């Protein structure tokens, strides 16, 4: 039997300010979780450990796999560090290839 979790998607703040320490960026990623990692709160942890804003754009979670489309907003160095940390935890991270126009 397959179970799914429904998520409420809320918009993230859009205004980023570049500083002398780096430029602001927004990156949209696909996160793929194996079964052993599905219940871990990685998105919450990323927002706590790094100075990034997380925005879940789409998600599908079953007993076999978790797939999340996540936006990360922040300084390039912070976004890169957050991605590296996620990968180190065992989450497969891939950039979203297609840019979709939102209405």
pLDDT tens readout for residues 61-96: 998 999 999 999 999 999 999 999 999 999 999 999
Query: Would the pLDDT of 17 be above 50?
Result: no
The reported pTM is 0.72
- Domains in the chain, ordered, with CATH? 24-95 (3.30.70.260)
Confidence grade of residue 13 (pLDDT, cut at 50, 70, 90): very low
Residues 6+ away with beta carbon under 8 Å from 95: 27, 28, 29, 30
Cα–Cα separations (whole angstroms), residue 2 to 5, 24, 25, 63, 69? 10, 39, 36, 6, 20
């Amino acid at each position: 039997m397959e179970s799914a979790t429904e998520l409420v998607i809320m918009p993230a703040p859009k205004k980023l300010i570049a500083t002398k320490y780096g430029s602001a960026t927004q990156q949209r990623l696909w996160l793929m979780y194996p079964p052993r990692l599905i219940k871990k709160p990685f998105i919450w942890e990323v927002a706590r450990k790094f100075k990034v804003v997380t925005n879940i754009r789409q998600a599908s979670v079953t007993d076999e796999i978790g797939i999340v489309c996540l936006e990360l907003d922040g300084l390039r160095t912070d976004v890169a560090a957050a991605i590296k940390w996620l990968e180190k935890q065992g989450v497969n991270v891939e950039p979203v290839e297609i840019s979709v126009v939102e209405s």
